[in-house]
């Protein structure tokens, strides 16, 4: 992967509302799209991922959607809670290619009480 754009850079929501973070990529060979959550002072942690043969994946309150034609994918968090406050990074990679991940620039999510 060469380039991943991530928006917004900051996002503030009220507790219980939904949050959506969007990423676009440029490499047509990309086939793996993980999302990482990074809390203050810690390393990133994988929260959900999606492969190119799937359009949507859900795990409890989080879901990811992928549009390969448009080359964009999104993270959806429903019923947000204060502990969801963190920096979220999208990434993309190509298995069988370079096998490395290219990360987006991050979204600072703040869930307000």
The contact set with another protein (CB under 8 A) reads: 4, 6, 31-32, 34, 36, 41-46, 49, 51, 89, 91, 93-95, 97-101, 103-106
Q: Are 111 and 10 in contact (CB under 8 A)?
A: no
Nearer to another protein, 3 or 18 (CB): 3
Minimum CB distance to another protein, residue 89 (Å):
5
Count CA within 13 A, CB hemisphere, residue 88.
31
Minimum CB distance to another protein, residue 99 (Å):
4
Cα separations in angstroms, 84 against 3, 38, 56: 26, 10, 21
């Amino acid at each position: 992967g060469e380039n991943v754009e991530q928006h917004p850079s900051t996002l503030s929501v009220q507790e219980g509302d939904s949050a959506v973070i969007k990423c676009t990529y440029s490499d047509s060979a990309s086939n793996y799209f993980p999302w990482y959550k990074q809390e203050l002072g810690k390393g990133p942690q994988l929260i959900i991922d999606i492969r190119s043969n799937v359009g949507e994946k859900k795990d409890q309150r989080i879901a990811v959607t992928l549009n390969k034609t448009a080359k964009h994918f999104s993270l959806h968090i429903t019923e947000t809670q204060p502990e969801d406050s963190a920096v979220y990074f999208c990434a993309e990679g190509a298995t069988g290619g370079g096998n490395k991940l290219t990360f987006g620039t991050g979204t600072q999510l703040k869930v307000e009480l």
